[in-house]
Structure 1
Amino acid sequence: MSYLNPLVLDNGVQYVKDHGNRLYICSAEPADYAGVAAVALGLKNTPALSAPADRSPSGRKVTVSAITDGAVSANGDASHWALVDTVNSRLLAAKALDAVLAVNNGDTFQLPAFDIGIPGPA
């Protein structure tokens, strides 16, 4: 049987919680921190992230709270989100949105809450 102590998993998602200080909506998935600038359509500074919690069916996760007041900075179709650590210039996580979001410069964007997780051992 495989096993990972919950502390191993928590430290991974805890890093996301402690350092993820800006969330972008993007027109494509960025490959790295520098790539975010080329695809960013808007941002939310200091998104709220939960403490590490159990992930179903196994592993650990943090939850990004719903965003209701993200600032749109360019026209386009947002297809991904990207969570970054601006202090250390790191892309921490990125994923496709559940649905493409058409946005216009100067508007606000909304996203439902979502999880970032690490699965438990197989």
Structure 2
Amino acid sequence: MSFLNSLVLDNGVQYLKDHANRLHICSSQPADYAATLVASLGTKNTPAVSVPAARAPSGRKVTVSAIGDGACSANGDASHWALVDTVNTRLLAAMALDAVLAVNNGDTFTLPAFDIGIPGPA
């Protein structure tokens, strides 16, 4: 049977907790930090990221808290979110939104809470 100590899994999601300091909503899935900036339609600075916790059925996860006050900076259809580390100019995680979000410059956007996880060994 395979085994990974929770400390091994936590270090991956702990990095998100420690370094993800901006969330972007994007018009497409970015491949790197520069592409995130090009595709960005809005941002939320310092999104709340939880401490690592158990993930079902195995592994570890962090939860990004719901966002109620994201700032839209362009018009368009947001299809993805991206978490970045602006200090080290790194894209840390990106994924499709549950539904496309039409936004306009100057509007506020909202997102429900979501998890980012690493599965345990098979």
Residue 58 of structure 1: aligned partner: 58
Gaps of 5+ in 2: none
Query: How many residues matched?
Result: 122
- Structure 1 residue runs of 5 or longer lacking an equivalent are none
- Written as runs of structure 1 = structure 2, the 5 A alignment for 1:1-122 is 1-122=1-122
The ranges of structure 1 where at least 4 consecutive aligned residues each deviate by more than 4 angstroms after the TM superposition are none
CA RMSD, aligned part only? 0.4
Displacement after TM superposition at 1:37 (Å)? 1.2
User: TM-score of the superposition, structure 1-length normalised?
Assistant: 0.99
TM-score, normalization by structure 2: 0.99
Equivalents in 1 of 2:21, 2:38: separation in Å? 19
Give the Å deviation of 1:83: 0.1
Deviation at 1:96, TM superposition (A): 0.1
Q: Letter of the aligned partner of 1:80 in structure 2?
A: H
SS at match of 2:4: coil
The whole-number CA distance in structure 1 between the counterparts of 2:93 and 2:64 is: 12
